[in-house]
Structures are given as C-alpha cells and as structure tokens.
Amino acid sequence: MEAFSANLNYLLAGGSCDPYKLPRGSPIISHLLYADDMLVFLNSVQSSLSAAKNFLQLFQSATGLKKNNRKNNFLFSKHIRASRIRASERILGFSKAGNDIQYLGAPLSKARTKVADFQFIIDKVNRRVNGWSASHVSQAGRATLIRRVLESFSIHVMAAMHIPCQVIDCLESHFASFFWGWVDGKWKLHWIAWKKIVKPVDEGELSIRSLKEVMAALRLKLTWAVKFGENSGSWVSLMRAKHHRDLTAEIHASSQKITSPFRRKIRTFLPVLTENVQWQVGRGELNLWAYNWTGMGPLQ
C-alpha cells in the first residue's frame, strides 16, 4: 500500500487530480490509510474522478488487488447538486454513502453527531456482557474485564471524537450492573455509587477509569497538540491552520458566540491547560502575555 500512497500523491502533485480544498495554510491531505482501510480526498470535478478511476484500474492491474464496489462509498457536501452525485456514481461505479458509515470503528458524519450515532458502542458492550453473563466470573474478574475490554470500546472512539454525556452515562450504568453481578437472572443491588468506584487503587478503589475523566484528558491532549504541539500529524496541522489564530483571543472573549463544536471544546479546556503549564524561558519564543512563564499564571 506504500506504492498506492506514493502514486496517489504523485497524481495530485502532477495536477491530474484536483485536491480537496482546505483552509489556507493547511497541508494537502490526499488520503488516510490504515492497513487496507482507506479514505481518499478529492475535488469532485469529473476530470479528477476519471483520473482517480483510471489510477485505481492501473493499480489493480499491476498488483492483482481488486476493489469491492459494494464496500466502497463516497461522501459529498450537502451543497452538491443531485445531478453531480449521479454523475459521480456513474464514473466511479459505486454509490453515495448512507448515514451509518464508519472508519476504523468511529462514525463519520457530515452533520453534528447525535446520541444515536454511538448506539453501536452500547450494543457492543451489551453483547459482551450478555455473553459473559452465562459464565461464572468473580467480581474481581468482572472488574478486570471492565478495565481491559469494555472501557476500551469507548476510549478508542473518544480518542477521535467527542462522545455525548448521555452515552457515557448509559455505558457506565451497564458497567456498574455487570460489576455487581446478577442472581436468578436479575441484577444485584449496587451497594456503592459508581463515581466512588472509579478511583485509583491508592485511593482505596479498583482503578476503573471514569469515562468522563478519560474524555477530558483526551481533550486536554488535543488542546495541547493544536495550541502548542510540534510534529503532531496532518490532522492537527489542519485544525491548527483553521482555528489556531483565534484560540488565544477566545480565552478572554467569553461573550463571543462560537458555532464550531471543535472550537467550543478547545475554548473550554485551553484556560485549564494554560493555568497548569509553566514555560521555561529559553530561546525567546514565548508569548510574554499569554504563556505562564512566571509560575503564577499568564500575565494577560
């Protein structure tokens, strides 16, 4: 697949395909690739689609690999006309994606994600719990299964996107019921609140992680990457080019209305990050007013 990546980039660099338009200063992203799961980003003009189709046919002839049109789909902006969508289907040979498309276990959506978009995580947890319910597992074993298996389903998706609090509450309710066990086909009484169980071992609990705290930690990590990080990858470079110029100003503009969910999340966590990070004076690259270099918080 390295040859596929290199030739696709060459196709875009040579002008045969028009790249997907991104904000000024963003890197050109032609595709995302993990094993044999791939997302390709192109402008939807017919010349670009025809060139991409010819490239895929040439790649198949050279490698012997075949694409399955039943597993291939494309996504368009909601502003694209129906006639253009039909023309794209005719050129590419596969159809427009529905509303339940996923990539590497995370839902893809052109609109803001809803609670229903994450029902698949709850269903996956229920299937595992129902399978284990038929076997005899000790409470210590159930705690280990929650830490090592059940929580991993949601944390994998959290690393890529925000999960609504309603989904997290539902997941932790299932975790709690599974932890306390069942008798005669009924779940037992919960003797301790779940928020007291999700604490570290050194605080006397079972080291089961709170999903809300994990999500907050992941958002802080993302905020650091967008605001301060270096060499953080194409996605962070894209988000930084689109939003970075406004992040510092938004800390002090609480009355400003922000429509972007991404910027709202960054705005929520940026003050926390700024207050708890201390910078060391060195090469003169610090922002005198916005960065905490005194240990007492930003001067601004």
**Whether the Cβ atoms of residue 40 and residue 103 lie closer than 8 Å to each other:** no
- Which of 195, 190, 172 lies closest to 180, judged by CA? 190
Q: How far apart are CA 170 and CA 168, in angstroms?
A: 5
Q: How far apart are CA 250 and CA 240, in angstroms?
A: 14
Tokens of 265: 């999340």
Per-residue pLDDT of 136-156, as tens digits, reads 788 888 888 998 899 988 888
pLDDT reported for residue 202: 77
pLDDT reported for residue 256: 56
Beta bridge partners of 73: 95
**Quick check: helix, strand or coil at residue 4?**
helix
Q: What DSSP assignment string belongs to 253-300?
A: -TTS----HHHHHHHHHHHHHHHH--PPP-SS-S-TTTS--SSS----
Higher-confidence residue of 110 and 6: namely: 6
pLDDT reported for residue 27: 75
Per-residue pLDDT of 207-225, as tens digits, reads 788 999 999 999 888 888 8
For residue 204, name the pLDDT band (cuts at 50, 70, 90): low
Q: How far apart are CA 262 and CA 269, in angstroms?
A: 11
Helix (H) or strand (E) holding 73: strand 73-74
Q: How far apart are CA 243 and CA 266, in angstroms?
A: 9
Q: Where are the domains of the chain?
A: 2-98, 115-209
Helix (H) or strand (E) holding 236: helix 234-251
Tell me how far CA of residue 95 lies from CA of 19, 68, 70, 88, 246, in angstroms: 21, 12, 8, 8, 38
- Which of 300, 225, 298, 230 lies closest to 262, judged by CA? 225
- State the distance between the two ends of the chain, measured CA to CA, in whole angstroms: 49
DSSP single-letter state for residue 97 = -
The CA-based angle 153-104-101, given to 5 degrees, is 105
Higher-confidence residue of 232 and 92: namely: 92
Q: What DSSP assignment string belongs to 223-234?
A: HHHHHT-SS--H
pLDDT reported for residue 166: 93
Per-residue pLDDT of 169-200, as tens digits, reads 999 999 998 888 877 767 788 888 888 888 87
Cα-atom radius of gyration of the chain, to the nearest Å?
Answer: 24
Beta bridge partners of 34: 37
Q: What are phi and psi of 67, to 5 degrees?
A: -90, 145
Match 């910027």 to its residue by tokens. 263
pLDDT at 255 exceeding the cut of 50: no
**Whether the Cβ atoms of residue 28 and residue 244 lie closer than 8 Å to each other:** no
Strands 37-40 and 31-34: antiparallel
Higher-confidence residue of 296 and 176: namely: 176
pLDDT reported for residue 251: 47
Q: What pTM does this model have?
A: 0.75
Beta bridge partners of 39: 32
pLDDT at 268 exceeding the cut of 60: yes
pLDDT reported for residue 211: 92
